[in-house]
A and B are shown apart, each in its own frame.
Chain A
Amino acid sequence: MSDLTLTNITKSFGKVEVLRGIDLTIRSGEFVSLLGASGCGKTTLLRIVAGLEGVSSGKVEIGGSDVTDLPPEKRDIAMMFQSYALLPHMSVSDNVRFPLRMRRVGNREEQDAKVKAALETVQLTHLADRAPRQLSGGQQQRVALARAIVSNPKVLLLDEPLSNLDARLREEMQVELIEIHRRIGLTTLFVTHDQDEALSLSDRVVLMNAGEIEQEASPREIYDAPATAYASSFLGAANLVPARIEGNVARLADGQTLPVSAGSPDGKATLALRQENVDFLDEGGLTATVITRVYLGSRHRYILDLAGQKISVLAPASVMLEPGAQARIGIAPDRVRILPA
């Protein structure tokens, strides 16, 4: 059963086409990330699901019924905003109660029980009577999460909810989100521009680019086997090197050759090389010129010139090469992704 179905959604603001035909189905209980650079249309898509934005054409179905023309207040959803959007004049518990009150869910005692359960889920029971401004950013964020899950919505929408937190808190909240999702299993649509967040939280990642879905796949699949040059450069910052496939080897622009897995059609192609998959060799392999070395503590990052193309490569701290030196590098054939040119 699917909780959310989007059919051929398009959206234009004036003459600007923001979404060009999005089809997406989310199964019950699935956690799906909309990943993409700013301006790719991911937030607009989320707002369309919420009903805060209308569609130019297409259909939105939630829980099997067509809600395309319903305003947000009539949709069975909850949304968590980047700014948390807590009501400043209400206490924490009144904020969490708000959706129940507005939707007239149960009587006072039933609401109390639900508010308590939601606050327990985010471990904030002890702050129930505080005002939002008395809380830290991380605590406000948990209140917003409690408020979003309290009404047990058909679809939970999260709009970059972690982007205002500092790095350590963000990692903590990621773990917590995973655990909460595992426990209560709400169907969740999560918007982010952070690939690590998308990969670590989701059952499925939907990569968007220029108003279209570039690729949708499981986190492992989209990372290990990006389907397009855009996908491989967006996920894990792969190096893209133009080459010509000749059977079992790829010939680079300067004539050097690199063994690759068989099966790709001969002719022009783009090689996607992940920085962590490139090895430094003592002899053999490809020759590249060191441009810059960046010390990262446990490792070095090298910027190399490979056949006229700048590539970024991670090396153990023991590899010490000066700018201008020749580096010998190799990549296992099954680690080389061959993409259409």
Chain B
Amino acid sequence: MVRAVPGWLRVGAWVFVALAAVFMLAPLVVVMGVSVSASQFIAFPPNGFSFRWYERALGSPAYLNAFWLSLNLAVLVTISASLLGGAAAIGLSRGGRSGGAVETFFLSPLVLPSIIFAIGLLMLWSAVFGPTSFQALWLAHTVIAIPYVIRTTLAVLAERDPFLEEAARTMGATRLKRLWFVTLPQCRPGLLAGAFFAFNISFDEAVLSLFLRNPNLTTLPVQIYGQLEFSPDPTVAAVSTLMILITIALMLILERMLGLTRFASG
């Protein structure tokens, strides 16, 4: 028997949904609005309409360098985090005596405040290697991206038929062939979703990048932050809008490839 949802609860639910939508979307609308403002001040609603801040952003060597650094970094982090996180997830999904403890350890960057990790890594890196470098950023971003790959891959592996691998053994598949023909295809949707998360984590990560930056190592979020602090103008909003568009484009590509929505709802 289905009991009717009381009216007040129904109204409450719609209010909740509306509030959530407003607070998630309104900041994006404001940023996009400011980015096409004709005025040189950051103000909403925008005064007039112009693309001059986009021109300025795309013509600024500081922003272009920061963008290429962030893109390079994000691509490398996507690869390293997917490889390491995927391998870890496959290992963890097989269980084992200390599996729970290892999983908690791998996922700890999710709960550990990243500022603590950033300070610790900066001190450690300085003590061992000296000045920070691209490698330090790559390592730092990989560490915080790995848990996302592990989570998404473990989620798809949890739903697989546990007998598939045994069946493959009875059909003559050796360990490597089972990995290639059975396990990896099963991981695919989780790995792709995890890779997408890893890219985004790295691309907009600010705390670690801020601590590990040096004059030659300024990522896009750090550049945005720096400009906001010292000489704010709508260029910041233009760059942010471009970042939003890149993310949307990535999501559409991934959706085409495997259906991110199906994964997220499954």
What is the interface of chain A, defined by CB distance below 8 A to chain B? 50-52, 71-75, 77-79, 81-83, 85, 87-89, 98-99, 102-103, 147, 151, 157
Contact = CB atoms under 8 A, between A and B. Distances in A.
Q: Which 8 pairs, one residue from A and one from B, show the smallest C-beta to C-beta distance?
A: A85-B167, A102-B172, A99-B171, A103-B172, A79-B170, A72-B169, A89-B185, A85-B163
A87 B166 contact: no
B213 to A, nearest CB: 43
Contacts of A85: 161, 163-164, 166-167
Contacts of B185: 87, 89
Contacts of B71: none
B231 interface: no
B181 A77 contact: no
A83 B161 contact: yes
B182 A81 contact: no
Contacts of A78: 170-171
A190 to B, nearest CB: 15
Interface in B1-60: none
A78 B177 CA distance: 17
Interface size class of B (residues with CB under 8 A): 10 to 19
Interface in B147-204: 161, 163-164, 166-174, 177, 181-182, 185-186, 188
B169 A99 contact: no
A52 B164 contact: no
Nearest to B164: A85
A46 to B, nearest CB: 11
A51 B170 CA distance: 8
B163 A147 contact: no
A335 to B, nearest CB: 44
Q: What is the interface of chain B mostly: helix, strand, loop, or mixed?
A: helix
Contacts of A50: 170
Given A81-B163, A85-B161, A98 B171 contact: yes
Contacts of B182: 87
Nearest to B188: A89
A102 B180 CA distance: 12
B266 to A, nearest CB: 14
Nearest to B170: A79
Interface string B210-225: 0000000000000000
B181 A87 contact: yes
Given A87-B181, A102-B177, A77 B170 contact: yes
B164 to A, nearest CB: 5
Nearest to B167: A85
A102 B171 contact: yes
A73 B172 contact: yes
A85 B174 CA distance: 17
A52 B166 contact: yes
B252 to A, nearest CB: 23
Nearest to A81: B163
Contacts of B177: 102
B168 A102 contact: yes
A72 B164 contact: no
A95 B193 CA distance: 26
Nearest to A52: B166
Given A85-B161, A87-B182, A79 B172 contact: no
A81 to B, nearest CB: 5
Contacts of B188: 89
Contacts of A71: 169
Contacts of B169: 51-52, 71-73
A325 B262 CA distance: 65
Contacts of A102: 168, 171-174, 177, 181
Contacts of A98: 168, 171, 173, 181
Contact of A99 (B164, B166, B172, B174): B172
Given A83-B161, A102-B171, A102-B172, 19 more contacts: A50-B170, A51-B169, A51-B170, A72-B169, A73-B169, A73-B170, A73-B171, A73-B173, A75-B170, A81-B166, A83-B163, A85-B167, A88-B161, A98-B168, A102-B173, A102-B174, A102-B177, A102-B181, A151-B172
B174 A87 contact: no
A158 to B, nearest CB: 12
B140 to A, nearest CB: 35
30 contacts: A52-B166, A52-B169, A72-B166, A72-B169, A72-B170, A73-B169, A73-B171, A73-B173, A78-B170, A79-B167, A79-B170, A81-B166, A81-B167, A83-B161, A83-B163, A85-B161, A85-B163, A87-B164, A87-B182, A88-B161, A89-B185, A89-B186, A89-B188, A98-B173, A99-B171, A102-B168, A102-B172, A102-B173, A102-B181, A103-B171
Contacts of B161: 83, 85, 88
A48 B173 CA distance: 18
B174 A73 contact: yes
Give the residue among A75, A87, A147, A157 with the most B Cβ atoms within 10 A: A87
A98 B167 CA distance: 11
